[in-house]
Chain A
């Protein structure tokens, strides 16, 4: 079981790394486009200006999944450290770890919804004054 958990940890680490690269690359690409637009003095229409903001949302969404993965990894690592010597004890505690991972998943889903902005909540007017 421990070997399986180590492999799972490695897989999660890989996913985080790819997500970080994606954030970085999309940011670089977006900023290059912005530099070009500003250098040329181009004026964009509202529709284009609105979709230009998607990179920020992509970065926040991926950032939230990285946080969720880190939370899951923390539980996995705690589990593997605590029960590395005793496979039967580890099996008995699987349920507890399952609960922790389920909580991490719930938090991640909440953040996915919270960080989606108007893309996920199109009924939202977008602006509210208090």
Chain B
């Protein structure tokens, strides 16, 4: 099953995504901070999709994205930003950094599932 990782400093946000993706044919790993996720990626983990929050302490979503893109094995891995941020300038910045898409919280569960299915090309 495809591996999808979620990175968010909010435990409740991770719980919400977990409940939404429970019934999907994917393996989910969750991280409360970006450095932990990045370390695992650098150690060889190759997720099929990364979904990350933007505003996080220590390392924000863009910094994490840059780390992901700098690693050869994940240079082309789809990355979706899942955030309360709606500013266009941030979306454009994300796009320039190689972001795949932008999802605004609170997300519609059906839309999130569709987005994951679309990126992973699930039937």
Contact = CB atoms under 8 A, between A and B. Distances in A.
Interface in B1-16: 8, 10-13, 15-16
A50 interface: yes
Interface of A is mostly: helix
Interface residues on B, range: 35 or more
A34 interface: yes
Contacts of A52: 12, 15-16, 19
B101 A31 contact: no
A54 interface: yes
Interface residues of A, number: 34
Quick one: which of A38, A52, A118, A127 has the most chain B CB within 10 A?
Answer: A127
Contacts of A27: 11-12
Interface stretch (A10-18, A84-92, A100-108, A109-117): A109-117
Interface string A33-75: 0100110000110100111111111011000000000000000
Interface string B103-123: 111111111100100100000
Given A27-B11, A114-B84, A53 B16 contact: yes
Contact of A127 (B19, B23, B86, B115): B115
Given A115-B55, A115-B84, A117-B86, A53 B106 contact: yes
Given A50-B109, A59-B10, A126-B104, 16 more contacts: A30-B12, A34-B12, A49-B109, A53-B16, A53-B105, A57-B106, A60-B55, A114-B85, A120-B86, A124-B86, A124-B104, A126-B103, A126-B108, A127-B112, A127-B115, A129-B115
